[in-house]
């Protein structure tokens, strides 16, 4: 059985938008949502909506809804466990079901981690006897304590030094090759890292998962990294996160480009810093950050590559609901250079003055135009309003418009007038495009289903609500065929002795239909109008009873018509009595 915690981890590590796009659905950003053509029914106008922050999708055309597991179950026709395994493999998450195969895989993974740990010790010891490697770190102004803290080392100028060292410890050559510590060619087998200073790469738990090596001369490539392996996925890890956590990570973190940026900032007692391992920030790295902080301060280099990485990074983080700030270092310097020249306090000043995401976007737009030219001013205002202002709150808009006015020396009234014209155009466009779905029916459902979902939501909230609803369910059988299976799952969990089932319910729903119902239940809004839960429950039950009585009365009415046509007088009288009784019950509610 796959644990609830592992199922949650697999969901967290699989970005729902990426999974959906991989299946061929093109998604377009619309505010905090993504929209596209539904993969479950034919349509010309997009009614399929994805909410990345919540990890769910819903189609307003056909009613399909679910999370990333339901999507895989539906599109790949897989049962629950197989869908979880598929997503686990996609995210490189090992699923331990207690069988021999998974146990063997874990043992192999542990062995690879031990090889890396021993390799890091060998590199560290090599540094003690290499003056040129020691001089490199001295020239970078690193002290002994920092070198020890980060486990910095040196790979000897030898083709077989590390390999021979590890073989003497009893490790198999195949495992060294699997980790990329050793390279096997047609003619020979040799060390990957030679005559380089070494930066061990740790995961956030502190395991050595790979290495980075920098040359001590003008050789190419300047930096050489471990290849990806069973234990090392570059896009899933952040350099220095383990040290940031150990130092007492608070609500924000600075993300930089290189190893030395992280290490030098730590040396200057700036410890809430990580590096993205030479890659632009990935979705999985964004998810990792979200586990530990609310705010990410992006501090990449000021060159074209750095700007591009910054833009990709904030797009990843924005979709996750993380607050983003941009730190731009003067004169195009990197953090390592700046803090060594200007000191800790000056760098902290830069951090405190970091730009908001909208300020940064405005700066990028501004760089495109010559604001001494009236035509460029007009284009700057229009692009700024289009790209940034339309999605802001009214308070943020006022401030933003004031900023544009300050930059351009154009009156605020003119900017507001330009915005109104743009919004009118946008409003008319949306009115035309949302006037109705062409060639399809909007998914409609009975109001009673919504009430059933509200009761289920209240049952999930706490055991007191559940017991009250259970009492009436036993008497009335409140739930329909669509919602009853989920209520049974809720009942099983509460009967097992659990008091809070909010974290366990999803793992219990191991079929597509129940999972889909659960997603709809979680998304169902509850308007309390100031009622306590018990009053809300009684009101929902009363309304459900009315709906059921309405259906019964309608059914009896149809039966009476049929019996009258057949001339069945006695049966008609019996049915009329039943209907009057139902009508009386209805009036009393």
Q: What is the mean pLDDT of residues 149-177?
A: 96
Cis before 146? omega within 30: no
Question: Distance between CA 455 and CA 461 in Å, rounded?
Answer: 10
Question: What is the pLDDT at residue 173?
Answer: 96
Question: Distance between CA 223 and CA 213 in Å, rounded?
Answer: 6
> Which pair of structure tokens corresponds to residue 403?
């900023």
Question: Distance between CA 110 and CA 87 in Å, rounded?
Answer: 23
Question: Distance between CA 337 and CA 551 in Å, rounded?
Answer: 76
How do residues 314-333 score in pLDDT, each as one tens digit? 888 877 778 899 999 988 78
In this prediction, residue 443 has a pLDDT band, given cuts at 50, 70 and 90, of: very low
Question: Distance between CA 202 and CA 288 in Å, rounded?
Answer: 14
Give ∠ CA 82-104-169 in degrees, rounded to 5: 145
| 478 in Cβ contact with 469 (< 8 Å) | yes
Cα separation of the two ends of the chain: 47
| 316 in Cβ contact with 284 (< 8 Å) | no
How do residues 338-359 score in pLDDT, each as one tens digit? 999 999 999 999 999 999 888 8
> Which pair of structure tokens corresponds to residue 205?
């738990």
In this prediction, residue 239 has a pLDDT band, given cuts at 50, 70 and 90, of: very high
Q: Which CATH number fits domain 4-90: 3.40.50.2300, 3.40.50.10320, 3.30.930.10, 3.90.580.10?
A: 3.90.580.10
3-state secondary structure of 402: helix
Question: What is the pLDDT at residue 129?
Answer: 95
Question: Distance between CA 392 and CA 425 in Å, rounded?
Answer: 18
- How many C-beta neighbours within 10 Å does residue 144 have? 10
At residue 337, does pLDDT exceed 90?
yes
Buried-exposed string 103-118: b where 16+ CB fall within 10 A, e elsewhere: eeeeeeeeebbebbeb
Q: What is the mean pLDDT of residues 487-515?
A: 85
Q: Which residues pair with 295 in a beta bridge?
A: 252, 323
Query: Which of the two residues, 439 and 27, has the higher pLDDT score?
Result: 27
In this prediction, residue 439 has a pLDDT band, given cuts at 50, 70 and 90, of: very low
Which residues have C-beta within 8 Å of that of residue 286, sequence separation ≥ 6?
Answer: 316, 317, 320, 322
* Lowest-confidence pick of 2-6, 15-19, 196-200, 511-515: 2-6
How do residues 111-128 score in pLDDT, each as one tens digit? 999 999 999 999 999 999
Q: Is the dihedral of CA 458, 462, 464, 470 positive or negative?
A: positive
**DSSP, residue by residue, 42-55:** --SS--EEEETTTT
3-state secondary structure of 58: strand
Cα–Cα distances in angstroms (integers) from residue 420 to residues 34, 303, 390, 414, 435, in the given order: 25, 36, 10, 10, 22
Query: Which of the two residues, 302 and 138, has the higher pLDDT score?
Result: 138
Query: Which of the two residues, 178 and 528, has the higher pLDDT score?
Result: 178
In this prediction, residue 428 has a pLDDT band, given cuts at 50, 70 and 90, of: very low
Please give the share of the chain, as a percent, with pLDDT higher than 70: 92
CATH architecture assignment, domain 101-232:
Alpha-Beta Complex (3.90)
Question: Distance between CA 508 and CA 463 in Å, rounded?
Answer: 17
* Lowest-confidence pick of 240-254, 370-384, 475-489: 475-489
Question: Distance between CA 150 and CA 275 in Å, rounded?
Answer: 14
Question: What's the Rg (C-alpha) of the chain?
Answer: 31
Q: Which of the 8 DSSP states describes residue 282?
A: P
- How many C-beta neighbours within 10 Å does residue 334 have? 20
Which residues have C-beta within 8 Å of that of residue 101, sequence separation ≥ 6?
Answer: none
Same fold, 101-232 and 241-353: no
Which residues have C-beta within 8 Å of that of residue 415, sequence separation ≥ 6?
Answer: 381, 385, 401, 404, 405
How do residues 396-422 score in pLDDT, each as one tens digit? 777 788 888 889 998 888 888 888 877
How high does pLDDT run on average in the chain? 85
Q: Which of 557, 552, 544 is nearest to 582 (CA)?
A: 552
Q: What is the mean pLDDT of residues 433-458?
A: 60
In this prediction, residue 474 has a pLDDT band, given cuts at 50, 70 and 90, of: low
pTM across the whole model: 0.61
- How many C-beta neighbours within 10 Å does residue 586 have? 15
Phi, psi of 150 (to 5 degrees): -90, 0
At residue 26, does pLDDT exceed 70?
yes
- How many C-beta neighbours within 10 Å does residue 141 have? 12
Which residues have C-beta within 8 Å of that of residue 433, sequence separation ≥ 6?
Answer: 45
Question: What is the pLDDT at residue 299?
Answer: 93
Domain boundaries, the chain: 4-90, 101-232, 241-353, 362-431, 447-582
Is domain 241-353 given the CATH code 3.40.1360.10 in the classification?
Answer: yes
At residue 82, does pLDDT exceed 70?
yes
Q: Which residues pair with 584 in a beta bridge?
A: none
Q: Which of 476, 443, 458 is nearest to 537 (CA)?
A: 458
């Amino acid at each position: 059985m796959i644990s609830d915690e592992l199922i949650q981890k697999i969901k967290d590590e699989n970005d729902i938008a990426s999974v959906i796009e991989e299946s061929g659905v093109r998604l377009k950003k619309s505010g905090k949502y993504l929209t596209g053509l539904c993969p479950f029914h034919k349509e010309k106008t997009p009614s399929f909506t994805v909410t990345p922050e919540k990890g769910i999708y819903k189609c307003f055309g056909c009613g399909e809804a679910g999370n990333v597991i339901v999507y895989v179950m539906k599109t790949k026709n897989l049962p629950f466990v197989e869908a979880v395994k598929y997503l686990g493999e996609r995210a490189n998450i090992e699923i331990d079901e207690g069988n021999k195969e998974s146990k063997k895989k874990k043992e192999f993974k542990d062995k690879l981690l031990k090889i890396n740990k021993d390799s890091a010790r060998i590199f560290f010891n090599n540094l003690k006897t290499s003056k040129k490697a020691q001089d490199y770190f001295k020239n970078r102004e690193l002290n002994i304590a920092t070198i020890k803290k980060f486990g910095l080392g040196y790979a000897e100028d030898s083709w077989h030094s590390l390999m021979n060292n590890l073989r003497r410890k009893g490790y198999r050559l195949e495992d060294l090759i699997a980790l990329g510590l050793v390279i096997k060619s047609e003619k020979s087998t040799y060390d990957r890292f030679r005559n380089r200073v070494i930066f061990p790469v740790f995961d956030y738990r502190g395991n050595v998962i790979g290495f980075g090596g920098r040359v001590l001369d003008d050789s190419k490539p300047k930096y050489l990294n471990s290849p990806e392996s069973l234990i090392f996925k570059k896009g899933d890890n952040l350099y220095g996160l383990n040290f940031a956590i150990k130092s007492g990570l608070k609500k924000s973190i600075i993300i930089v480009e290189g190893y030395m940026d992280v290490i030098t900032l730590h040396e200057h007692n700036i410890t809430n810093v990580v590096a993205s391992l030479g890659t632009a920030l990935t979705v999985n790295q964004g998810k990792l950050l979200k586990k530990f902080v609310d705010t990410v301060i992006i501090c990449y280099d000021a060159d074209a590559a750095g700007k591009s990485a910054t833009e990709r990074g904030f797009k990843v983080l924005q979709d996750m609901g993380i607050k983003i700030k941009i730190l731009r270092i003067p004169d195009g310097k990197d953090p390592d250079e700046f803090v060594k020249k200007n000191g800790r306090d000056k760098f902290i000043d830069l951090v405190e003055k970091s730009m908001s995401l909208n300020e940064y976007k405005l700066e990028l737009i501004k760089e495109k135009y010559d604001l001494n030219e009236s035509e460029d001013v007009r284009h700057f205002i229009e692009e700024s309003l289009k790209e940034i202002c339309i999605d802001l709150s009214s308070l943020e808009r006022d401030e933003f418009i004031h900023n544009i006015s300050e930059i351009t020396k154009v009156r605020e009234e003119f900017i507001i007038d330009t915005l109104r014209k743009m919004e009118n155009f946008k409003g008319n466009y949306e009115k035309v495009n949302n006037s109705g779905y062409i060639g399809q029916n909007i998914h409609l459902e009975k109001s009673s289903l919504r009430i059933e979902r509200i009761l289920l939501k209240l049952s999930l909230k706490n055991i007191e609500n559940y017991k009250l609803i259970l009492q009436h369910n036993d008497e009335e059988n409140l739930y329909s065929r669509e919602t009853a299976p989920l209520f049974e799952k809720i009942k099983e969990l509460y009967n097992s002795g659990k008091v809070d089932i909010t974290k366990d319910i999803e793992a219990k729903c191991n079929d597509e239909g129940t999972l889909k119902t659960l997603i709809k239940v979680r998304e169902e809004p509850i308007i309390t109008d100031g009622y306590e839960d018990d009053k809300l429950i009684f009101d929902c039950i009363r309304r459900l009873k009315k709906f059921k009585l309405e259906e019964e009365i309608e059914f009896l009415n149809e039966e009476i018509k049929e019996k009258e046509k057949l001339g069945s007088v006695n049966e008609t009288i019996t049915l009329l009595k039943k209907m009057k009784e139902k009508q009386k019950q209805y009036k009393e509610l």
